[in-house]
Amino acid sequence: MVDLLEFEGKELFKFYGIEVPKGQLVHSIKDFKDFEEEHVIKAQVPAGHRGVNGGVLKFKTKEEFIAAFNKISSLTFNGFKPASFLVEKAIKHEQEIYVALTLDRNNKSPVLLISAAGGVDIEKIPKNKIKRLYLDVFIGILDYQKRQAFKFIGLNENYMLQFYNILDSMWKIFTEKDAELVEINPLAVTATKLIALDSKVSIEDDSLFRHPEYKRDEYSSDNLEMKAKKKGISFVRLSGNIGLIANGAGLTLATIDQIKLAGGMAGDFLDLGGTDDPARVAEAIELVKESNPKVLFINIFGGVTKADTVAEGIIQAINKLNINFKIVVRLKGFNEAKGKELLRKNGIDAFTDMGEAIKEVVKLANYGNSN
């Protein structure tokens, strides 16, 4: 998934008819000279929560601009240091609304999310304050759904046509650009207009052959995922505290499900594929270490992958790195006896049964009773 920078998302918004504040992309202090009105400077990085982390500042004078620019330039956001900055006219507004189109994988359909309480604390909004409208991918947002959304946010009827047009434009971006997410947070309500103060647009990786203008190697929504990608390793961050390394996409996803069923939650997963190169295994463990898991589960089913060389990689990582978390290993398949013996000599017991191994993992991760 490619997360567009805010200014890129707003360029899309403007093209599709969604109003955004007048702005300018700058790379240095000398690039901006308009100090007649209050402005906002925003760090352009593929990371969220910029506002609460100091990446969005207002200014009125040249001196305030220089101070804000220098402050934001010195910050790092989820591992990314900003190289460009969006400077926009500050918009006075009465209300902030949240509007987003994304995919609901459980429902297997697009979903429209809408709330009258948008802004930086949207994650803290109670579920009953966010309306979900499931959409038909072949039809889009129906008129009655637009009416439901508009009624839910409770705006004056003077904004109705603008709001409907914004929904139509978001749907066009979502479908024509193969997006996984099109989000406006906040959509500002001024005395006469609805203006998108921020943009978040994520493009599906597999569609980039249709959208070469968004193909890039230097950005990811997560710095560690980007680091792994550059090494040619499949690595995805999740929300739990159990690190997972497995070989093969099927086994990896099945293991995530089994961890969940046992009462745990994977914090990330790394797919070794068919490799059993000890150096590669050690490199994978080093990547997982950076995500700071409570426990690491290494689940290897050896067909092409040899269990003993995977064990050598685990031992290399332990000897090289200052491991501060528990490691649980499940080895099954080609050369498993040799691999288990290597691990045993280095103080690591390896399981044969995946279910037993996962019980131990969940127990070590302190998720309560895993019996």
Q: What element of type H or E holds 237?
A: strand 234-237
Question: Are the beta carbons of 214 and 3 closer than 8 angstroms?
Answer: no
Nearest alpha-carbon partner for 238 in 315, 166, 192, 293: 293
- For each of the chain's 371 residues, which pLDDT tens digit applies? 788 999 999 999 999 999 999 999 999 999 999 898 999 999 998 887 888 889 999 999 999 999 999 999 999 887 788 999 999 999 999 999 999 999 998 889 999 999 999 887 787 888 889 999 999 999 999 999 999 999 999 999 999 999 999 999 999 999 999 999 999 999 999 999 999 999 999 998 888 889 888 876 555 556 677 777 777 777 777 778 898 988 877 888 899 999 999 999 888 887 776 666 777 778 888 888 888 888 999 898 876 677 888 888 888 888 888 788 888 999 887 788 888 888 888 888 788 899 999 999 999 987 544 44
Question: Are the beta carbons of 361 and 329 closer than 8 angstroms?
Answer: no
Q: Domain boundary at 89, 113, 144, which?
A: 89
On whether residue 352 sits in a domain, the answer given is yes
> Looking at the structure, do residues 354 and 240 belong to the same domain, yes or no?
yes
On whether residue 17 sits in a domain, the answer given is no
Nearest alpha-carbon partner for 236 in 266, 203, 273: 266
> Looking at the structure, do residues 168 and 209 belong to the same domain, yes or no?
yes
Neighbours of 119 (CB within 10 A): 18
Given 183, 225, 312, 360, the catalytic residue: 183
> Looking at the structure, do residues 210 and 330 belong to the same domain, yes or no?
no
End-to-end CA distance of the chain: 37
Determine the pLDDT at residue 5.
93
> Looking at the structure, do residues 247 and 351 belong to the same domain, yes or no?
yes
Determine the pLDDT at residue 275.
60
> Looking at the structure, do residues 112 and 70 belong to the same domain, yes or no?
no
Buried b vs exposed e over 318-340: b needs ≥16 C-beta within 10 Å? beeeeeebbbbbbbbbbbbebbb
User: What is d(CA 77, CA 306) in angstroms, rounded to the nearest whole number?
Assistant: 39
Q: Tell me, what CATH number does 266's domain have? A: 3.40.50.261
On whether residue 16 sits in a domain, the answer given is no
Crossing angle for the helix pair 336-345 and 307-320, to the nearest 10 degrees: 20
Q: Domain boundary at 70, 89, 108, which?
A: 89
On whether residue 209 sits in a domain, the answer given is yes
> Looking at the structure, do residues 85 and 105 belong to the same domain, yes or no?
no
Q: Tell me, what CATH number does 182's domain have? A: 3.30.470.20
Q: Return left, alpha or beta for 219; rule: phi > 0 is left, psi -120 to 50 is alpha, else beta.
A: beta
Question: Are the beta carbons of 186 and 96 closer than 8 angstroms?
Answer: yes
Residue 340's alpha-carbon distances to 151, 201, 333, in angstroms, are 63, 47, 11
> Looking at the structure, do residues 345 and 231 belong to the same domain, yes or no?
yes
Nearest alpha-carbon partner for 177 in 207, 198, 199, 206: 207
Determine the pLDDT at residue 216.
67
> Looking at the structure, do residues 108 and 208 belong to the same domain, yes or no?
yes
Which domain covers residue 103, as residue numbers? 95-214
> Looking at the structure, do residues 353 and 246 belong to the same domain, yes or no?
yes
> Looking at the structure, do residues 197 and 126 belong to the same domain, yes or no?
yes
On whether residue 1 sits in a domain, the answer given is no
Reported pTM: 0.69
On whether residue 11 sits in a domain, the answer given is no
Given 98, 159, 214, 367, the catalytic residue: 98
Size of the chain in residues:
371
Q: Domain boundary at 40, 59, 89, which?
A: 89
Whether 98 is catalytic is yes
Determine the pLDDT at residue 218.
53
On whether residue 5 sits in a domain, the answer given is no
Determine the pLDDT at residue 220.
53
CA angle 102, 254, 219 (to 5 degrees): 45
On whether residue 275 sits in a domain, the answer given is yes
Determine the pLDDT at residue 368.
47
Determine the pLDDT at residue 252.
85
CA-atom Rg of the chain in angstroms: 24
Q: Tell me, what CATH number does 61's domain have? A: 3.30.1490.20
> Looking at the structure, do residues 243 and 122 belong to the same domain, yes or no?
no
Q: Return left, alpha or beta for 352; rule: phi > 0 is left, psi -120 to 50 is alpha, else beta.
A: alpha
Q: How many domains does the chain have?
A: 3
> Looking at the structure, do residues 319 and 251 belong to the same domain, yes or no?
yes
